[in-house]
């Protein structure tokens, strides 16, 4: 239909200024709408989903989690976003960060709690689409219910301090880790 309409517009009397202006506006509008559609397609392609990210095993988290950088550089100052993938039952022991930590659940359920001891009975569930922000210095912990992926936004460099040394991963000496 668009091809026929375009052909019809091109057959109009180009000597009439109003017809010429109207036709050029229609062509410009059609070209702009085609560019907008293409731009939206490219933008959607530029934001890979969780399955196409480059996942690594982070030495600063307990074994079992995987991490992918979404935006920024977590090892440098400035805002960054990472995704953390956790298997069912994964536990992140009580810890704190020197800056805020904003979490959005992308898949599964994240049970979150505050305090110095991990107590799954005192957690609150965050489901897909739910968000939470822990201010700097807040003692918190989490448990994954089902395979869970969360997006985590923070001011870098990413630093995590475990409240109990015996719960900290043994490989912490390799921070900052490479991607």
Q: Does the predicted TM-score (pTM) go above 0.85? A: no
Question: In the chain, where are the structural domains located?
Answer: 2-46, 50-174
Give the integer Cα–Cα distance in Å for 92 and 63: 10
Q: What integer best gives the mean pLDDT of the chain?
A: 78
- Geometric angle at alpha carbon 84, from 83 and 90, rounded to 5°: 160
Q: What is the CATH number of domain 50-174?
A: 2.60.120.10
Mean pLDDT of 87-93: 97
Bridge-partner residues for 105, per DSSP?
A: 150
pLDDT in tens, 60-81: 999 999 999 999 999 999 999 9
pLDDT in tens, 130-159: 999 999 999 999 999 999 999 999 999 999
């Amino acid at each position: 239909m668009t091809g026929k309409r375009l052909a019809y517009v091109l057959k109009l009397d180009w000597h009439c200024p109003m017809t010429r202006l109207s036709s050029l506006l229609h062509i410009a509008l059609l070209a702009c709408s085609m560019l907008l559609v293409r731009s939206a397609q490219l933008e959607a392609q530029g934001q890979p989903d969780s399955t196409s990210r480059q996942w690594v095993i982070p030495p600063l988290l307990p074994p079992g989690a995987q991490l992918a950088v979404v935006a920024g550089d977590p090892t440098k100052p400035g805002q960054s976003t990472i995704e953390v993938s956790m298997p069912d039952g994964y536990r992140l022991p009580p810890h704190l960060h020197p800056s805020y930590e904003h979490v959005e659940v992308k898949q599964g359920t994240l049970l979150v709690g505050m305090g110095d001891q991990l107590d799954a009975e005192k957690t609150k569930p965050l489901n897909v689409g739910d968000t939470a922000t822990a201010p700097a210095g807040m003692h918190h912990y989490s448990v994954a219910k089902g395979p869970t992926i969360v997006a985590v936004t923070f001011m870098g460099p990413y630093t995590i301090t475990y409240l109990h040394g015996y719960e900290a991963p043994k490989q912490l000496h390799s921070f900052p880790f490479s991607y």
